[in-house]
Structure 1
Amino acid sequence: MNKTLVATADLSESKNIVSSETPEKFLEKGLQSPENVSVGCLYPYLESKKLQDGSTAFYPRIIGERDSNNPKHWRWGFNWKETINSVWKGRSIGSIPCGAVPMIRAMQLQGATREEIIAFIKRAKTKSPRKPKLPANAPIAVVLFAGGGGVEAGMVSAGIRPVIAVEHDPSKPKLSRAIAQVHDRNFSAYGCKVIQQSVQEVAASGFQGFPQRPDYLHASPVCANFSQAHTAKAGAALETPDDLSAAQAVAAAVRQLRPRVFTLENVPRYLSSQSFTIILNALESLGYNVNYSVVNMADYGLPQARKRFVLVACFDVILTLPPKNKPVGWYSAIAHLIPTMPDSQLLSRQQQALSQFLATNEPAPLLIERVGGRKLAKYKPGHLPANTILRSHFTDHKGCNRNKFADIWLPDGTVKSLSIQAAAILQGFPSWYEFPLEAATAGSIIGYSVPPSFATQLFIYFIYIQKQLEQ
């Protein structure tokens, strides 16, 4: 099948073009100068195929006349020039999904760089990858307070096999069961067993059936009483007997299972709690090398500002956090999905937030939250990481679904409702992770989870350090 390229300026005459050569007006007007040829050009084309009867068919096939204004009536490509050894060379990417065309045009109007456009195109063309395959001798991990498996997704991507995940929240039994089912659907293929009991109950049973000396043990104790929203209302963290018993259960797991590496993640206020002191004392009494700090996940390439307390402990190695990465704006992370998101309308307080932004800034893509009471809606320009994603964004005070939780405003006036798929990317979930259809459950998994992309970096770095020391 041959490509029949059609210059943007010549679309009205496209039905008469059968040549597979690049037309003279291939580059858009103004891109012929050496300063501009590297910017690139979005172009439509047709694919031609010689049939057995001698006739020529053009693809995509349509009924009736081909519409020059309908992106679905054309194949799409992106062409640019770059210098290689001081010589200009032509480059192109074809078979761009037609749904991505409006966003590419918008990016061009907004002055996006060629690299940003090419990165967007590659993401738009990428098919969902399959789940990683792990060797039989992969390191194993046990996870306490597993939720939907954010840290497990990061572990799997790092080559670690989760074998047991404990997930049960007595205060939200229905939601916890739904989350456990999603966990099982995503990780049962790796032989991971979900135990639907509280960590305290599992500790009381002596961790029966758990592997001794696993390579990794992770815990993310329930953080509701230490969260910023809770302490803002109460004035201080109200540590409960359940919080303390959960910490004691984690300490018991460390003492009994003796993992080589222990990791813990929680909100920053957990650092000053008695619960943390219980766990820290257990680790130090057993001779673990302990390192902990509050980090912003955005410093590790997550397209979201998310401050969390992270602890790493190891018997035989002093582990540190991995090197930081370049920050990523939310827009570049999810721009390829925006054409697929449902249309929306801004609420009055979102409109006020937009007006406030435009009063002192040039128009730029904005991610504007819909929740938050009567206060001015929080927003973030596209070049910055998104605000922290919380479970409360997806559910109301009764735990019911919110159909809309955030909107994307584009400078051309387009307003889109942020999708669960996009929120998952902002939280660092891999594309192979399967979310449930119910927004409350999916949003709870996203809002509660350790960002998988951060977990992957963390564990890959640990594996690297350990291998370096073994050489």
Structure 2
Amino acid sequence: MPCAAIDLFCGIGGLTHGLLLSGLQVLAGIDIDGTCQYAYETNNQAVFIEADVAQLPSDIISNIYPNGLIRVLVGCAPCQPFSRYTQRYRKEGHKGDKWRLLYAFADKVRDIMPEIVSMENVPELAAESVFNDFKAALIEMGYYVSWKIVYCPDYGVPQSRRRLVLLASKLGEISLIDPQYTPETYLTVRDTIGNLPPIDAGQSFEEDPLHCSSRLSLINIERIKQSRPCGTWRDWDAALQLNCHKKESGSTYPSVYGRMSWEEPAPTITTQFYGYGNGRFGHPEQNRALSIREGAMLQSFPYDYKFLPFGARLSKKELGIHIGNAVPVNLGRAIGESIQRHIGEVAENG
């Protein structure tokens, strides 16, 4: 039973690449950010369409699917409005239109009626009315729906990220495959980036421009020298501690300016993972923050995934956003394998 997928809000292709690794054909990715096109198309056998998913006519998407295939529609609508890193949205009400994009996803499903749907997002979305509305819409359209909060190391992602994964099918009951790793076999920071050549803060590896790290001020160099894996800023001499740390309000953020541990999965890779002061993004033993390449590999992108054309200007901020916002590739692979298993079961049962 051949099938093919289209990836909404595709970014640089984390979900698409995982689906491809699972053996699932991906026809196209759609995203409003045209700067993602190079990475998406260079690494994946799929076409990038620069468009606002909410405004793109559904028949354009529908017409991409060849006749006679099981149609799969997947996507990760921008999660910033629901993330725990943007609590202000829940204090002040949702700002802007990004939080409405899950409704746009539901509209596309209603117009296209693909046989299988998958949606991935932050766990906090489960507490939002827009998620309940999304599920209710799918059920009303005749889909079998399942969802769960996933601990990403269970599926080969070397970071302690949790994500919400929803699967829906018109063909029958569908669910995510069982975890593929256990705490004893979780991929660690050492497993993932331990073989990369050492570099200093502010330097890059000549053979791979993306293996580059941000500069550190003299005081931050002293801070990271006094940091230990899984430690906190409380390990520093008092003279190195920031005034905000000494306030009661600052005591709840001990991981800021922290080092990762070689023997554990990394913390959640955010869009600012390349900054030492933005979380526990200090290298386990080198006195620097993560390089761009290391952040990508901890998101389970392959080492040879290409993010920029040769000789292009490298912007850590732009690449940080691209990589940090991506669906981890190995989680995408697990989603693809779940879809493949489901289709196989449907075929077996006639």
Which TM-score tier does this pair reach, normalised by the shorter chain? Answer: 0.7 to 0.9
Residue 429 (structure 1) aligned to one of 291, 301, 309:
301
Q: Distance in 2 between matches of 1:341 and 1:214?
A: 48
Aligned residue for 2:163? 308
1:343 Cα deviation from its structure 2 partner: 5.1
Aligned residue for 2:211? none
Residue 382 (structure 1) aligned to one of 262, 268, 271:
262
Q: Within the alignment, does 1:143 sit opposite 2:7 as a pair?
A: yes
Residue 408 (structure 1) aligned to one of 267, 283, 299:
283
Determine if contact 2:38/2:307 at 8 Å carries over to the other structure: no
Aligned residue for 1:331? 190
Aligned residue for 2:36? 179
Q: Distance in 2 between matches of 1:273 and 1:183?
A: 30
**Identity of aligned pairs, percent?**
23
Q: Distance in 2 between matches of 1:382 and 1:407?
A: 11
Q: Within the alignment, does 1:458 sit opposite 2:312 as a pair?
A: no
Q: Within the alignment, does 1:341 sit opposite 2:205 as a pair?
A: no
1:316 Cα deviation from its structure 2 partner: 1.7
1:269 Cα deviation from its structure 2 partner: 1.5
Residue 350 (structure 1) aligned to one of 202, 224, 231:
224
Q: Distance in 2 between matches of 1:355 and 1:466?
A: 44
1:181 Cα deviation from its structure 2 partner: 3.2
Determine if contact 1:142/1:214 at 8 Å carries over to the other structure: no
Amino acid of the structure 2 residue aligned with 1:229: Y
Q: Which moved more, 1:298-307 or 1:202-211?
A: 202-211
Q: Distance in 1 between matches of 2:13 and 2:92?
A: 26
The CA deviation string for residues 200-242 of structure 1, in whole angstroms up to 9 with x for no partner, is: 11147774634277531112111111111111x4554833462
Please report the TM-score for the alignment, with normalisation by the length of structure 2: 0.76
SS in structure 2 at match of 1:195: strand
Q: Within the alignment, does 1:444 sit opposite 2:321 as a pair?
A: yes
Determine if contact 2:299/2:328 at 8 Å carries over to the other structure: yes
Aligned residue for 1:321? 176
Amino acid of the structure 2 residue aligned with 1:228: R
The CA deviation string for residues 72-116 of structure 1, in whole angstroms up to 9 with x for no partner, is: xxxxxxxxxxxxxxxxxxxxxxxxxxxxxxxxxxxxxxxxxxxxx
Larger Rg: 1
The CA deviation string for residues 147-206 of structure 1, in whole angstroms up to 9 with x for no partner, is: 1111011011111222121100xxxxxxx221233223333xx2x232211111114777
SS in structure 1 at match of 2:27: strand
Determine if contact 2:10/2:76 at 8 Å carries over to the other structure: yes
Q: Distance in 2 between matches of 1:333 and 1:312?
A: 29
Residue 56 (structure 2) aligned to one of 202, 227, 242:
202
Q: Distance in 2 between matches of 1:204 and 1:139?
A: 19
Which one has more relative contact order, counting CA pairs under 8 Å at least 6 apart?
A: 2
Q: 1:416 to 1:142 in 2, by over 3 A?
A: same
Residue 297 (structure 1) aligned to one of 137, 142, 152:
152
Amino acid of the structure 2 residue aligned with 1:140: A
Q: 1:214 to 1:464 in 2, by over 3 A?
A: closer
Q: Distance in 1 between matches of 2:106 and 2:175?
A: 21
Q: 1:237 to 1:277 in 2, by over 3 A?
A: farther
The 5 Å alignment of 1:219-258 reads 219-231=75-87, 233-234=88-89, 236=91, 238-240=93-95, 242-243=97-98, 245-258=100-113
Residue 393 (structure 1) aligned to one of 239, 262, 273:
273
Q: 1:167 to 1:193 in 2, by over 3 A?
A: same
Residue 156 (structure 1) aligned to one of 20, 27, 30:
20
The CA deviation string for residues 260-301 of structure 1, in whole angstroms up to 9 with x for no partner, is: 221111111111223223321221011111111211112222
1:360 Cα deviation from its structure 2 partner: 12
Amino acid of the structure 2 residue aligned with 1:285: E
Q: Distance in 2 between matches of 1:306 and 1:356?
A: 16
Q: 1:355 to 1:275 in 2, by over 3 A?
A: closer
Q: 1:140 to 1:269 in 2, by over 3 A?
A: same
Amino acid of the structure 2 residue aligned with 1:255: R
Question: Where does structure 2 lack aligned partners over 5 or more consecutive residues?
Answer: 203-215, 236-243, 246-252, 309-313
SS in structure 2 at match of 1:290: strand
Determine if contact 1:306/1:387 at 8 Å carries over to the other structure: yes
1:244 Cα deviation from its structure 2 partner: 5.5
The CA deviation string for residues 35-72 of structure 1, in whole angstroms up to 9 with x for no partner, is: xxxxxxxxxxxxxxxxxxxxxxxxxxxxxxxxxxxxxx
Determine if contact 1:226/1:238 at 8 Å carries over to the other structure: no
1:306 Cα deviation from its structure 2 partner: 0.6
Q: 1:314 to 1:343 in 2, by over 3 A?
A: same
Amino acid of the structure 2 residue aligned with 1:381: S
Determine if contact 1:317/1:466 at 8 Å carries over to the other structure: no
Q: Distance in 2 between matches of 1:432 and 1:468?
A: 34
Q: 1:354 to 1:180 in 2, by over 3 A?
A: same
Question: Where does structure 1 lack aligned partners over 5 or more consecutive residues?
Answer: 1-136, 169-175, 362-372, 397-401
Residue 216 (structure 1) aligned to one of 57, 72, 84:
72
Q: Distance in 1 between matches of 2:282 and 2:159?
A: 15
**RMSD of the TM alignment (CA)?**
3.3
Q: Distance in 1 between matches of 2:90 and 2:232?
A: 35
Q: Distance in 1 between matches of 2:298 and 2:157?
A: 7
Q: Distance in 2 between matches of 1:457 and 1:427?
A: 14
1:431 Cα deviation from its structure 2 partner: 3.2
